[in-house]
Amino acid sequence: MRAEALKGHLDALLLAVLEPAPAHGFAVMAELRRRTNGTVDLEGGTLYPALRRLEEAGLIAGTWTTGAGRRRREYELTELGRAALRTERSIWRDFVSTIGRALEPAHIEPTQAATA
């Protein structure tokens, strides 16, 4: 999927991936890829600036950890991030519902067709 198609949705996707448990950047990329059956495959140049932006906004918190002999940054949702995710989900449901109705074939009621 093209990065342009994710504009406006990337932050919500990252928050959703971090909802169940903290994760480091590579794990976030892998989980997003898994959840989308490989359709969304972010590159580090897209992911890490987005994670930094979410951290600066207070939606996630990052801490340095050491695992398997390497130092890496692990991210987790803050309470503000959980609230933002709830809001984003609500906005997304409304968007999908509205666009879905608009894309469906027009149905003309039998009474409208008879008078037309």
Q: Which domains does the chain have, with CATH numbers?
A: 3-101 (1.10.10.10)
User: What is the rounded CA–CA span in Å between residue 52 and residue 50?
Assistant: 5
Q: What DSSP letter does each residue of 10-30 carry, written as one string? A: HHHHHHHHHSSS-EEHHHHHH
| pLDDT over 80 (residue 111) | no
pLDDT tens digits for 29-83? Answer: 999 999 999 999 888 888 999 999 999 999 999 999 887 888 999 999 999 999 9
Instruction: Tell me, yes or no, if the pTM score tops 0.85.
Output: no
| pLDDT over 70 (residue 4) | no
CA within 13 Å, CB half, 88: 17
40 in Cβ contact with 32 (< 8 Å): yes
CA 24, 32, 41, 54 torsion-angle sign: negative
**Average pLDDT over every residue of 5-26:** 91
